[in-house]
Structures are given as C-alpha cells and as structure tokens.
Structure 1
Amino acid sequence: MSQNSSATKFTHDVLDVPFNRAYLSKQIMEQQDVQRIDDALTLVSGVFHQNSFGGGFWDNYSFRGFSTDPNLGAAMIRNGLSVNRGISAPKDVVNIESLEFLKGPMAALYGRGETGGLLNLNSKKPQWESESELNLRANTQEQYRISLEHTAPINDELAYRLAVAHEDNQSFRDHVSSERWFFSPQLTWKISDQTQLDFDSEFTEHKGTFDRGVSTVNHQFVMDPKTFTGEPDDGDLKIKDYFYQLRLSHEFNPDWKLNSAVSYKDAQMVGFATEPRRMQADGRTLERQRRYRDYTSEDVLAQTELLGKIDTSWARHEILLSTELGQLDYKQNQLRRNHSTSSTNTIDIYQPEYGKYLPNLTPFTDTKERQRYFALNVQDQIFFNDQWSVLFGNR
C-alpha cells in the first residue's frame, strides 16, 4: 500500500519508509466514531492520554513515555508544518482526513516534538465534485453535537469547502458543562496544470467549566465522583484559537517539485477558576486556590521545500531541501490567591457550599516570551534496488 508519508515527504510503500509510524485513515476514524484526537489515541500503540488541562481544554498525550510541554501545545504538525505552538484548543476531526503518528526520532525533521515522536494532521481538501455530509450525535449524559461539511467546485480552476461543528455538553459531574463552535472555510485554486494554491482556515471557540476532577484522601478515592470542588460562580474558561495557512505547490517536471507555505495562528485563553490545592487533616476540608488567567499566543511560520528525484547508474536518489523561519510570541498574565488564615478558601468535599469564598486576587505572573527559529533541512534517501535503501538527513 502506497502512502504519502510526512516522515520523508515522498510517496512510498509502507515498508520502504525506515521509520515506525501508525496511520489512521478517514475510514478507520469513521468506523471507530472518532470525534476528537483523544478518541484516536486508544487505537495506536505507544501513545497515551495525558492531563488535558482542567477537563479537555487542549489535546495532550505522550509518545513512548515522553510528554510534551502542555504550555506550548502537544507535539503536533499539520500538513507537514509545525502549527501547534502556543495555546491550542482541542482539534475537531470534522476537518481531518487522516492522522499519522510518527514514532521515534523522525520528529527531528520538523524540530518539533519529543524523543518519542509527534502527530501529523492531514487536513481535508476541497473536491471537484459536489459533496455534503451532515452528522448528529446525542447521548444520555446530555451531550449533543452537530457537524456539517460541504465541498463543490466554483469553476474549472476554483473549488471550496466549508465545515461547521457545534457541541453542547453536560457532564455527570455537578455544575460542569462545555460548549464549542468550529468553523473552517477552505479554497483551492488550480493556477495551471503545474501550480496550485490552497488556503485553509480554522476558527475554534471553546468554553467550559475548569474542572481538576476528584481529590483523594490519603491516596484513596472516597468522595462522590459527581461532586465539583470548584466554584460555579467563576463562570467559564474560554479559548479562542484562529488559524490560517496558505500553501503553494509547483511541479517543474515529473521529478522535481517546489512547496511553499505560510501559517499564522492567534489564540487566547481567559477566565477564572477555583482549583484544589491540599486536603486538611480532618480528611474532608479541601484547601483551594483561585486563579484568573489571561494568556495569549501568536505564531507565524514560513516554509519552503524542494523535492526531487535523480537516477544514477547505481542508485535512485530522493532529495529534500527545505528551510523554515518562524516566530512565537507568548504572554501569560495570571492573578492568584491561595487559602490562608487571612484569606480563607476551603470547601467540604462531602457537603459542599458554593459561593461562600470568592477571594480577590493579586498579581502572580506577568511574562512575555518570544521565540525565533530558523532551520535548514537536507535529506537524501538512496534506493540501491527493490530490497535495499538508506536514508541520510540533517537539520
């Protein structure tokens, strides 16, 4: 079976790629009813769920035991570009054609991810035949979802695709709920038989109760799992995640191709939350801390790559030359107050009373971080015959 692998950027039979990877197609995700990235993790060995930050405010997972920095997004790329830097709302699969889990050191090609690997999202593209799809979901926990996809050609050169999804979710836990909107317009322009321009965009707004879950007493789960130990009056924590990507591809001839892309991502997280901190000696009084978060991130990335094939008398070379230039700005403004004798903030885990303590907050962090990065990649996979090949790469 031939697949276009983001590991090498060329199309190969699976056994010709000298890396360990797992590939989930659209058909597999539909069969397994995958709606979020989290749903797909159970289908792949060596990839595990991690803390999703207060009940699902972003995707987080580990590869082979190596976790990523949740403050800068999980190890993830999109169409071969590092686009998950900064604050990121959970990805919606209504816009995903396939998932490619790249395991091991191949993440070095992107300068992204941990030692264990990373995830590549292959997005859906506009089609040249009109198609529409409507999906409705509901369950007994009052969780509702609707998604709509439509793609069609405008003329012989232009095609578009629109995807919309909305979720309204309650929870088995008291006072916990979430709501989510997703909108993605896309456009493809066939400039010529050799040149194509693609525009992708995604607008995600996610809000919900920040919920750290169940607290333990002497490492034992004794409280009612339905009990929420935060404060309903804190309201929702909100995430806005807006993403734009422009891709240009040009074929010089059947053996040589140029790809260029520019991505821009703008995101914000804002809201109050009351979180558990420490259980007192009586085994029922939980000390808490209250926080206000106002985080913003802005990421810009430009990439150009040249792919080519050269046949010699003794081998076939598949060559990749690429360069990247990018900048990430990340700002964190946080107010916080912990429980103390002068500022009480506790709750009884067996008989909770809400609204009793909503302390005023004081500044805790106010940081601005800027990361600039430049990279040059060189790769050559040499095929000696149908049985033997070797791949060299440097970044």
Structure 2
Amino acid sequence: MPKTIHACRLSVLSLAIFSTFTAQADSLSAVETLEVRGQREAYRGDFDYLKSPEAIFEINSQLIDSTGAQGLTQVLDLSSSVTRQNSLGGLWDSFAIRGFFGDEDVPSGYLVNGFNAGRGFSGPRDVSGIERVEVLKGPKAALFGRGEPGGSINLITKKPSYESASELTLTLGSRQQRRVEGDVNGALSEQIAGRLVGFYQEEDSFRDTLEIEKHGVLAAFRYDHSDRSTWSYELEYAKQEIPFDRGIIALQGNFDFMPIERFLGEPGDGPTTTEVHGHQIQWQYAFNDNWRLSSGLAFRQTELDSLSSDADVSPSRQKLYYDGKTLTRQHRQRAYDTDQYVGRVELSGELSTGSVVHNIMLGIDYDRFEFDRDYRVARAPSLSTMPSDEQLYALNIHNPVYGQFTPPTPSPVTVRQQNQWATGIYLQDQITLTDKLQLRVGGRFDWLRQTTDDRLSQQSAKQSEQHFSPQLGLVYMVSDNWSVYSTYGEGYRLNFGTDHQGQGFEPNQSESSEIGSKWSLFDNDLEVTLAYFDSEQTNIIVADIEHPGFDSAIGKASSKGVELDIAGQLPADINVWFSYTYLDAQVEKDSIDTGLYVGIKAGDDLLNIPDHAASLQLSQYYRVSGRPLTVGTGLQYVDERLGQRGSDFYLPSYVIANLFAEYDITDRWQVKAQIHNLFDRKHFTNSYTQMWVQPGEPRRIQVSVSYYL
C-alpha cells in the first residue's frame, strides 16, 4: 500500500475513533459521576520536593509540547545530566546519566510508571502518551532493583480522568514530515474512565535516501471500584520502520571530510523494523488515610529485524585508511526478540513512635527478562590478500553508487538465548526526627539468576547472585523554603555474556555519594537544586588480555561533578527550565576496549561525555486580541567529547538555538510552531569511532494545528 494512502486511511481511522470516543463521553456528561479522585504515583513514595534527599529533574508535558520534541532522546536533551551514547545507528535510545552508561550493545533501560520496562528492542521511544519524564539521578537499586548505573529515567504516562477532553493534532514539517496524533479522554461509565492516544508519522531524513515511518497506540483505563480501591490497565503498541545509519566519517578529525547528508549504507537493505506490545495492570487500595497498598503486573514483548551495510573499522580490512575514497563495508543481520515480565507489591504509609514519625515503603518484586539474539556478519578479507572492490563490498564515499555489488551472506557470530531472573525485597523508612531534620534509611536484597545458551558453541552457563543495595539520606530544613541534604546509594545490573570459561560475569556495580541544596521560591512556583556528587562504577566489561577473543568484567570508571537545575515560573509570566552540569568522568583502570581492541588508560575520558553541558528553555505568556500567546526560545550547549576510545579524536562542542510559539485561535483551535537549530549549525551528537559519527539534524521547521473538544 502506498504510504500516502496508508497515512490517509490512518487519519480517517483516527478521526473515527476521535468522534466515537468523544460522542460516548458526551453521552455520559449528564450522568452523575463519582468525584474525581487523585491517583497516587506508585513505587516512588509521596515526598515533598524539599524533603526528598535526591536530585530529580522533571520534564513535563507542557515543555515537551512547546518544544515540539517527539522522541525520548530529544526530551532527554533538555537535561544536562543526560548525554547521548551509541544508539546502534539510530535503532534505539542510548544515554548516559552523570557520565555512566550500561551495556553498549543493548538499549538503555528506563522505567514506565515505576516498572522496569525499557530493556527491549522497541526502537526510539515516541513521547505520545507521556505526561512527564523524570530524571532520577544517582543509583536507585535500593528501590527499583537493577538499572542503569548513573540513575534512572521514569516515564509517567497520561492517565484517564472523568472529565471529557479530546484533541486531534496535525503536524507538517521540513523534509516532508507528516504526523497525525489523537488523544481522547472521558468517562465510559460512572466508575470507568478511558483514554486513547494514537499517532502516525512519516518523514524523509536529511540523510540521503532515508525515510522513517512509525505508528502506535496507547490505551489506558481506570476503574474506581470504591473510594478505597482503584484498578488501572494500560496497553502499549508501536511499530517503526527506521534506517540503520552509522552516520559519516571524520577521518583524522576532519569533520568536513564529507557532506553530512551522505549515506554510506545500502538502501537496498531496507529499513530496520521494530515492534513492541506492552501491558500494565495496577491495583491501589487505601486502608485508611495513612496506609496504601500498590500492586501491579507488566508484560512487554519487543522485536527487531535488521539488515545493514556499514563501514568496517579494522585497519587490516579498511581500504579508506590508505586511499581516502574506497570504503570497505561489512554486511550484518540482526534478529532480536525479548520478553519481560514484572510484578510488584508495595505497602506504604506513615506511623508514629512517640514524637518520631516514620514514612515507610515495604515491597517485593519480580523481574524476568528473556533475550533471544541472532547476530550475523559478513566481513571483507584482509587487504594483504589484494581483494577486489566487490570482495570489499566497497563504496566510493565521494561518488557513491548504491547496489553496485551483491551483498555478501552474513555468517553467525552470536546465536544465543539469555534469561535473567531477579526477585527482591526492599524497605525504605524516612524518619522525621525533628521539625527540621529527617533521616532516610533503606535497603534491598535481591536473588539473581541468569542462564545463557550459546547455540553456536553448544555451551550453556548458569549464574546465581545475591546482592544487597543500601541507601542512606539526610535532610535538614534550613527554613520553610530551603533545605540541604546528603545521600548515599548503590546500584547494580547483570552483565550479558560469558567469559573464556563460559561463566557469567560479575554484576556491574556503582555507588554514589551526594550533597545538595534545594530552594522553593516565588510561592513555590520555582524549584532550584544544586548538587555535588562523586560516583564509581566497577565490573565494566572489557577485553580479556590473557584470553584474546573473550571479555572480562574488570573495568572501572569514576564520575564526579556539579549540577544546577532550575524549573518553574518567574514573575511576569515567564517560565524557565535551566539545567547545567560539570562532569569529571574518566577511566580508573587500564584495560582494552571490547569493540576496537585498543588500549584504554587510567585517566582517559569516557566516551561521549562532555565536561560541560547546559540547556535553557524560556517562555513568556501574552494575550493577543484577547487570546493567549506563548513565545519561547531554547539553547543547548554541549562541550567537546571523546569520540573514539584510545585516541585523541574529539567531537567539537556546539550550541543549538530553537524557537517555539503557540497561539489559541479560538477555544477549540490552537496553532504551534517550532524552529529547531535556528541558525542551521553543523554539529555532531555522538560517535563510537571516527568512522561512525552521528551528525545532528540541520534546521527543522514544524507547524502543528490542534483541535480540542
């Protein structure tokens, strides 16, 4: 089916759903409904901003909508504590928090409503259906279990309510971007509310020959069984067709070596296809005003299928290093499947022992992750054999002719089934010792198990671990709007793969100490957090020197720095979001890189981690012809970063400016516009090697029209 017809049909379908759902909600508008009740966020506790001994940066739906960000990576750019990492040619979201990242060969994990739910291969996350994004800094294993070493990203989805509200948005933008999104919410009965969000998007890339197409549906239902009992269910489905794109080549640090538009892969490989099916069901029960039970189950299934042609980085095979024009390529095939099952039960509440008040969370959870990986590669012969251009699967980077050679057939490299199980119990108690002093103590004990079945070597491995993760925090209220805090936490994550003996690796571990100060200003409209942290990460996977071809979990790194986050409203109807981070992140132990097999020395910078990063978003509210108008600007600064381990190859620093505005034409019609990269600055967001450098997007203009009912 032609894409334009597909888009039209989906648009008609969206309108039909929009109309039907709205009509159903309107038919119930005259029915007496239950009072709207707030739904407490599960698994995080209910702590005042000033009394929480941790740094959190929230990016709400207002900021997401205003800036026009449509993917999770673009949203996380608004937090300077988060930096982009190797996304495997744009196939998934990959990021570091406070300089630390997990496994480069799999997507970065994130939470959805407190559930571990981002470990699979669902492609870059679209933010439709997301109410806000929380950047939870520092290790969170004591509460959530295994996770990314520098912190956690928690996505809070849009919840249904009994108030009828519907929205249909059409977006047109540069490079033939076409996007339609619908959001319908309302009462289905006196006790049931529902919400449906759907989207479809297609566009051309600024990279030659590449196109992107994606669509998805998110549905949520809420059933208020009684004043004390609430059930909720959420469905997630998305499918994407995205190109595998390793970017450009910046040979010997020359970023003008080739145009940023030039694609070095093979259009005939077709797009990479990703698909996700997810379900969450939760039950919350209030025993009384102080005690609540939160429980939930989640299941998420993802698939990724890909063919790709990209630059070979080995000097023994790469002809480009010698003649400056002939690119040796490898042909790769991937078929990844994951299933994840999560269960969680938590009891939380408050009790007093004399003059001391305890705010307690006690819980147990279960997490099962199944990863079926089939990875195949065809590589060229060594240059010493004098191979032909066809044997090199070569491409002239200055005058590419696609489809010139038949792609070689990939051979199996990794065909493996890996399963992980984790069962944990945790306890957190925030103790109010006096009106000014609070102490948080907590810990978590996990029973971990992992099995690996290697179908190529016909070897199997089993691994069992027990792990305790403590946390400790202290908060002192200097005044009603000023607090200081200190905290300590640890984190862990199981490492994928096996060593030379076929045994699983020791878990990757991190620990962090932090001191900070928080202010709540202008009648609590503005929140300010200043923090200093010092972190260490151990058991990082590196190459095994004594057993070539195998890996070992002996790597070590450190990260320390200062963060300043400001978010809220200033006088004169000015909204501000500001985030600045200074980072000193480096290798702490000599080792060998697993991908390029180059030496890494203690004191080397960590890959793609800038010393300085900042993001500023400012907007102001006006009234024009009696209607509300919001105009804003955004700036993002990223310092230079190491672009290839074991080298002096650095990506240049950059500043990107954006503009955005929204105007309510009537009560039901709104128009929005954004200009990203206003001055069309050439910049590079991340890299793995000088042969795989990701260029940032040139200027983009987007205009959206929304209809509200």
Per the shorter chain, which TM-score range? over 0.9
Map 1:150-161 to 2 at 5 A.
150-161=184-195
State yes or no: 1:264 paired with 2:305: no
- For residue 410 of structure 2, the aligned residue among 361, 380, 384 is 361
- For residue 376 of structure 2, the aligned residue among 312, 318, 335 is 335
* Unaligned runs of at least 5 residues, structure 2: 1-38, 313-317, 382-386, 445-709
SS of 2:336's equivalent in the other structure is strand
SS of 1:228's equivalent in the other structure is coil
Percent of pairs with identical residues: 30
Amino acid at match of 1:301: V
Cα gap change, 1:248/1:4 in structure 2, threshold over 3 Å: closer, same or farther?
closer
Alignment check: 8 A CA contact 1:73 1:88 kept: no
CA displacement 1:190-238 (0-9 Å, x = unmatched): 1111111110011010112111000122332311222111111111110
Following superposition, the deviation at residue 43 of structure 1 comes to 1.9
Counterpart residue number, 1:300: 341
State yes or no: 1:384 paired with 2:441: no
Alignment check: 8 A CA contact 1:260 1:303 kept: yes
Counterpart residue number, 2:95: 61
Q: What is the distance in 2 between the residues matched to 1:309 and 1:47? A: 34
Map 1:1-395 to 2 at 5 A.
9-55=44-90, 57-221=91-255, 222-277=257-312, 278=318, 279-340=320-381, 341=387, 343-357=391-405, 358-395=407-444
Amino acid at match of 2:70: Q
Following superposition, the deviation at residue 143 of structure 1 comes to 1.9
Alignment check: 8 A CA contact 2:109 2:117 kept: no
Alignment check: 8 A CA contact 1:19 1:106 kept: no
Query: Which segments of structure 1 move beyond 6 Å, counting only runs of 4 or more?
Result: 3-6
Q: State the TM-score, normalizing by the size of structure 1.
A: 0.95
Alignment check: 8 A CA contact 2:102 2:149 kept: no
Following superposition, the deviation at residue 28 of structure 1 comes to 2.4
Once the two structures are overlaid, the 10-residue window that deviates more, 194-203 or 8-17, is: 8-17
CA displacement 1:309-368 (0-9 Å, x = unmatched): 102222110111111112111011122101223833111000111112211222222111
Once the two structures are overlaid, the 10-residue window that deviates more, 314-323 or 110-119, is: 110-119
Q: What is the distance in 2 between the residues matched to 1:12 and 1:29? A: 24
Cα gap change, 1:156/1:74 in structure 2, threshold over 3 Å: closer, same or farther?
same
Alignment check: 8 A CA contact 1:107 1:117 kept: no
Q: What is the distance in 1 between the residues matched to 2:300 and 2:104? A: 17
Once the two structures are overlaid, the 10-residue window that deviates more, 263-272 or 41-50, is: 41-50
Once the two structures are overlaid, the 10-residue window that deviates more, 35-44 or 239-248, is: 35-44
Cα gap change, 1:209/1:72 in structure 2, threshold over 3 Å: closer, same or farther?
closer
Alignment check: 8 A CA contact 2:428 2:443 kept: yes
Q: What is the distance in 1 between the residues matched to 2:246 and 2:398? A: 17
Q: What is the distance in 2 between the residues matched to 1:146 and 1:107? A: 38
CA displacement 1:127-183 (0-9 Å, x = unmatched): 101111122222222222211100111111111111101110201211111111111
SS of 1:246's equivalent in the other structure is strand
Q: What is the distance in 1 between the residues matched to 2:266 and 2:117? A: 34
Residue correspondences, number: 391
Q: What is the distance in 2 between the residues matched to 1:295 and 1:26? A: 32
Q: What is the distance in 1 between the residues matched to 2:220 and 2:400? A: 48
Q: What is the distance in 2 between the residues matched to 1:386 and 1:75? A: 38
SS of 1:105's equivalent in the other structure is coil
Following superposition, the deviation at residue 33 of structure 1 comes to 2.4
Alignment check: 8 A CA contact 1:4 1:12 kept: no
Q: What is the distance in 2 between the residues matched to 1:18 and 1:70? A: 30
Following superposition, the deviation at residue 386 of structure 1 comes to 3.0
Alignment check: 8 A CA contact 1:291 1:337 kept: yes
CA displacement 1:291-324 (0-9 Å, x = unmatched): 1111100010111111011022221101111111
* Unaligned runs of at least 5 residues, structure 1: none
Q: What is the distance in 2 between the residues matched to 1:67 and 1:145? A: 32
Amino acid at match of 2:343: A
Q: What is the distance in 2 between the residues matched to 1:114 and 1:4? A: 25
Q: What is the distance in 2 between the residues matched to 1:39 and 1:363? A: 35
Q: What is the distance in 1 between the residues matched to 2:140 and 2:243? A: 37
RMSD: 1.7
Cα gap change, 1:19/1:125 in structure 2, threshold over 3 Å: closer, same or farther?
same
Q: What is the distance in 2 between the residues matched to 1:350 and 1:249? A: 61
Cα gap change, 1:127/1:70 in structure 2, threshold over 3 Å: closer, same or farther?
farther
Q: State the TM-score, normalizing by the size of structure 2.
A: 0.54
Once the two structures are overlaid, the 10-residue window that deviates more, 104-113 or 59-68, is: 104-113
Following superposition, the deviation at residue 78 of structure 1 comes to 1.1
SS of 1:281's equivalent in the other structure is helix
Q: What is the distance in 2 between the residues matched to 1:5 and 1:302? A: 16
